[in-house]
Structure 1
Amino acid sequence: MDGNGDRVEAIVALRGAGRSAVGRERIRLLEQVIRLGSITKAAQEVGISYKGAWEALNAVNNLLPRPAVAAQAGGRRGGGAVVTEDGLALIAAFHQMEAQLERVAALFSAGGTTLDAPELLRRLGMRTTARNAFRCRVEEIRLGGVNAEIGLRLTDQATLTALITVESLRDLGIGLGQDVTALVTSSFVVLAEGGAEPQATARNRLAGIVSRRTDGPVSSELCLDIGGGKTIAATVTRDSAQSLRLNPGDSAWALFKASHVILAID
């Protein structure tokens, strides 16, 4: 707002159905990657940590059909990063929508509505607390008496299964071929060493390579590159992480139940 508190600033966020927003901060980060060719340098430019930048860009990649940012190997500092055609299209779409929203914001500032504009804009920017948000396509629906199993295409090689009630299926209007966002809390993800597929009751089993491990006093967070530009995060106890002996570069499995997948639609 301006000094009189009368002007409403337009704030736009592109998001999947799970409300994991791609807002101005993440778009600015993408633009700095274009300019500098490095996630480390881009993070410094926008004033965030490398870890924060890495997580933000992975969140963007997980919500798009194809990655917005791709790593480049080589170089004295381990290579750089490049924004893909999909990333460039995302940036362009964001700025187009931001310009349109500025016009809408002007109406609020002119007093043409009784809506609480700042509160409305804050609500539009709400984000999910689920660590993992994946854009998927519905490939199969299996109806039961109470529950429905939803088969989801995550990448060319990977699928997910979600278990929801038939009532929820109908309320959301989910159908074959529809795009949805699958949300999985990181604490629901169980890790197993790589190799042969684990014999487990969990319906969802994603093979990947550990791309990052962050240890805290009590818990550890590990991120797995599962291919197709997608990553999944798991939060486990520090003791569990040490007993698994999983470090960046190691192969691993991410396991979670179908009932732990939450679906959201546009």
Structure 2
Amino acid sequence: MSQGKVEAMLGLRREGRPMVGRDRIELLEAVGIHGSISKAAKAVGLSYKAAWDALNAVNNLLPRPAILGQTGGRQGGGAIVTDDGLALIASFRMMEKRLEKVAQMLAGDGSGDSFSLLWSLGMKTSARNAFRCTVTDIRKGEVNAEVVMRLSAESSLTAIITAESLSDLDITIGREVMALVKSSFVMLAPGAELPRISARNRIVGTISHREDGAVSAELTLDIGDGKSIVAVVTRDSAEEMELTLGSKAVAFFKSSHVILAVD
């Protein structure tokens, strides 16, 4: 007797709100492709109202909206997928891919440690800055390797990892990786001029958010292409450098402070 294929279905829910699964993620992807809720609804075979209700459920899942737009009546209006929406799509697809591997292992279709994969689905990190990048260059040494990645159209990241890690993670040119940087490792300098320092990573941006505490200040730097970097500095330093909303600043950090991870 042949066994049917084991399939894993991923669903996300927050505080009892409607489930967000593959169908709603596909709808969100369609909005990103067509730039319109009505066109996205047609592409996935839904009515405009059903699509609008589904996208509202997606928005309710996140602290900030996954999609922004206007209803525009029955024909719908223009709509965009926000950075949070893009992050949700990427995270969902990554988790779905890993869950599928677990399903295949449980069905006996492959070999490996399914429990390790299950653990990785719930992996959390304390690093505030997590970027999905594409490797553009690798400079190998006897002990360490320098990995250069495209962060955005204007910016790149450099990481120093051991040659052993490069091999273990199977990092090659063209591969997508996650680059993690703790906010406490990120330093800031006012203005748009790159400081003359030894730190390999120096990225210009605009301060889009600032939250002051009793001792420290958390600042978010908009670096373009919908990406941002979070830095935590002392409140006194933020005041002395006049790091206010809308002002230009340079985020800089060492290549040794960039941690790489792969799916």
Tell me if TM exceeds 0.5: yes
Alpha-carbon distance in structure 2 between the residues aligned to 1:254 and 1:237: 15
What does residue 90 of structure 1 align with? 89
Alpha-carbon distance in structure 2 between the residues aligned to 1:182 and 1:88: 14
Contact 2:68 2:80 in 1 (8 A): yes
CA RMSD, 1 decimal: 4.4
TM-score (norm 1): 0.62
How far apart are 1:124 and its partner, in Å? 2.0
Cα deviation digits, residues 167-218 of structure 1 (max 9, x gap): 1111111111111000000000000102221111110011111010000111
How far apart are 1:145 and its partner, in Å? 2.3
Cα deviation digits, residues 11-39 of structure 1 (max 9, x gap): 948xxxxxxxxx544969x99xx969xx9
Matched, 1:247 2:244: yes
Larger radius of gyration: 2
TM-score (norm 2): 0.63
Alpha-carbon distance in structure 2 between the residues aligned to 1:153 and 1:120: 27
Name the % identity. Answer: 48
Cα deviation digits, residues 38-97 of structure 1 (max 9, x gap): x9xx98x66x8xxxx25xx7xxxxxxxxxx65799xxxxxxxx84269749939x66x95
What does residue 258 of structure 1 align with? 255
How far apart are 1:229 and its partner, in Å? 0.7
Contact 1:130 1:183 in 2 (8 A): yes
Q: What aligned pairs does 1:21-40 form with structure 2 within 5 A after superposition?
A: 24-25=13-14
Unaligned runs of 5+ in 2: 1-7, 28-36, 38-51, 71-78, 107-112
Unaligned runs of 5+ in 1: 1-9, 14-22, 58-67, 73-80, 108-114
Matched, 1:212 2:224: no
Selected match of 1:170 from 167, 170, 177: 167
Selected match of 1:159 from 144, 156, 160: 156
Task: Tell me: CA distance 1:71–1:122, structure 2 relative to 1, closer, same or farther (3 Å).
Answer: farther
What does residue 199 of structure 2 align with? 202
Amino acid at match of 2:174: G
Alpha-carbon distance in structure 2 between the residues aligned to 1:256 and 1:89: 27
Alpha-carbon distance in structure 2 between the residues aligned to 1:82 and 1:207: 25
Task: Tell me: CA distance 1:207–1:144, structure 2 relative to 1, closer, same or farther (3 Å).
Answer: same
Amino acid at match of 1:241: A
Task: Tell me: CA distance 1:171–1:97, structure 2 relative to 1, closer, same or farther (3 Å).
Answer: closer
Aligned pair count?
A: 208
Q: Highest relative contact order (Cα 8 Å, sep 6+), 1 or 2?
A: 1
Task: Tell me: CA distance 1:240–1:168, structure 2 relative to 1, closer, same or farther (3 Å).
Answer: same
How far apart are 1:241 and its partner, in Å? 1.3
